[in-house]
């Protein structure tokens, strides 16, 4: 790598460290280090609540080329703990660009560094697994940072949904003459999910994690949607208890964390993946149609297929590692997928799932 003025360091829990330079907010942050292989979609990644308490490493070497706009966002603000790049683009070029990525990171106080050997870092995570890390300006106190990172909690056992969930019931998109009335349990919902429901004339009321069964029944929903979100599904017990009470009462659809929570509520178990799935190119096979879908994914946990009860059918599998990517329980009108069919960012191959859920309601 070429010479540069290093003023930041990333220290991993196993003692490995990488020097870089601050290109975002100059401060200290911590989180689980994960890598994302997407060539585009950095703005959606930054604002995805599922990345809460994670430091995202972008494997594509040049990030920020097309700048930042006000509509390619997945929540009201960036949710990542930190951002790591090989090189940030100082001069964005796009007709929709409203500001540079660097300006956006500083404005939202996101600690970000570049000039990191992201290829070496990604290979390290792939070989040794996702782990906690710290980005700091204490480049001359590496040993002190190594001790600090040892004190950080691992992702297993962390219920982070309560930190990103809405605080009050609300709607993001108003629909005139809606056909469907959907209640969404918000554990870190992405806005493109809401946009795709809106395109299908479905009104979605977003409910906070504190919602009760009586609250939901009073709204007379046609169906229940359980959102994506961060953290360990096995620790998100408040959501599992709520979903158990709702099963059988309404058609139900879950995405990502929602898929995991539904699986646990049905009697299944989840486990931690070595380094997770964070990309926009994972091949998934629909076992009913035999078709292969290229999918967008962002999760660190997966459902144990051997733990699912007999009335739950595996509908989709990941062709890279054969992990469970979808389930159906026809007797209880439930469907759920591990990946992100709302394609924000990513391919549109799986948007049909929204139509299937609304068809289930019909």
Whole-number Å distance between alpha carbons of 7 and 138: 8
Query: Taking CA 139 as the corner, what is the angle to CA 138 and CA 144, rounded to the nearest 5 degrees?
Result: 60
CA atoms of 262 and 256, how far apart (whole Å): 10
d(CA 14, CA 174): 48
Task: Please say whether the beta carbons of 318 and 279 come within 8 A.
Answer: no
Within 8 A by CB and 6+ apart from 200, the residues are: 179, 180, 354, 355, 358
Nearest in space to 56 (alpha carbons), one of 122, 104, 102, 4: 122
* Selection from 62, 61, 59, 129 nearest residue 281 by Cα: 59
CA distances 106 to 53, 100, 244, 288, 349, Å, are 18, 10, 42, 47, 35
Active-site annotation holder among 124, 277, 278, 340? 340
Choosing from 52, 74, 256, 299, which is the catalytic residue? 256
- From residue 84, give the alpha-carbon distance in Å to each of 9, 24, 106, 160: 11, 10, 14, 22
Contact 259, 301 (CB under 8 A): no
Catalytic (active site) residue 330 = no
Do you find a cis peptide bond into 345, omega within 30 degrees of 0? yes
What does the radius of gyration of the chain's CA atoms come to, in whole angstroms? 20
DSSP assignment letter at 38 = -
How far apart are alpha carbons 197 and 173 in whole angstroms? 10
* Residue 74 bears catalytic tag: no
Verify whether residue 329 is a known catalytic residue. no
Query: Taken in order 193, 252, 163, 152, is the CA torsion positive or negative?
Result: negative
Residues classed as catalytic:
256, 340, 342
């Amino acid at each position: 790598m070429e010479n540069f003025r290093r003023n930041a360091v990333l220290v991993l829990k196993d003692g490995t460290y990488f020097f870089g330079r601050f290109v975002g907010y100059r401060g200290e942050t911590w989180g689980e280090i994960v890598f994302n292989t997407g060539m585009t979609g950095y703005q959606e990644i930054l604002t995805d609540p599922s990345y809460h308490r994670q430091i995202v490493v972008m494997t594509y070497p040049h990030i920020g080329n097309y700048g930042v706009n006000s509509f390619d966002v997945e929540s009201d603000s960036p949710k990542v703990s930190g951002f790591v790049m090989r090189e940030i683009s100082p001069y964005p070029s796009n007709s929709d660009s409203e500001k540079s990525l660097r300006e956006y990171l500083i404005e939202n106080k996101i600690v970000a560094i570049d000039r990191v050997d992201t290829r070496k870092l990604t290979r390290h995570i792939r070989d040794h697994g996702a782990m906690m890390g710290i980005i700091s300006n204490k480049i001359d106190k590496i040993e002190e940072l190594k001790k600090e990172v040892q004190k950080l909690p691992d992702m297993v056992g962390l219920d982070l949904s309560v930190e990103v969930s809405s605080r009050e019931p609300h709607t993001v998109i108003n629909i005139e003459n809606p056909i469907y009335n959907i209640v969404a349990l918000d554990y870190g919902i992405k806005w493109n999910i809401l946009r795709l429901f809106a395109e299908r004339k479905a009104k979605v009321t977003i409910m906070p994690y504190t919602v009760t069964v009586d609250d939901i029944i009073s709204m007379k929903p046609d169906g229940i949607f359980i959102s994506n979100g961060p953290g360990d599904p096995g620790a998100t017990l408040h959501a599992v208890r709520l979903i158990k009470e709702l099963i059988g009462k309404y058609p139900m659809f879950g995405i990502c964390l929602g898929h995991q929570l539904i699986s646990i509520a049905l009697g299944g178990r989840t486990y931690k993946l070595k380094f997770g799935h964070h990309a926009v190119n994972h091949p998934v096979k629909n076992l009913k149609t035999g078709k292969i879908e290229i999918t967008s994914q962002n999760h660190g946990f997966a459902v144990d297929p051997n733990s699912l009860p007999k009335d739950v059918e595996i509908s989709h599998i990941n062709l890279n590692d054969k992990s469970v990517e979808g389930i159906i329980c026809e007797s209880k009108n439930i469907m759920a997928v591990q990946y992100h069919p709302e394609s924000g960012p990513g391919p549109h191959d799986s948007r049909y799932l929204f139509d299937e859920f609304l068809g289930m309601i019909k």
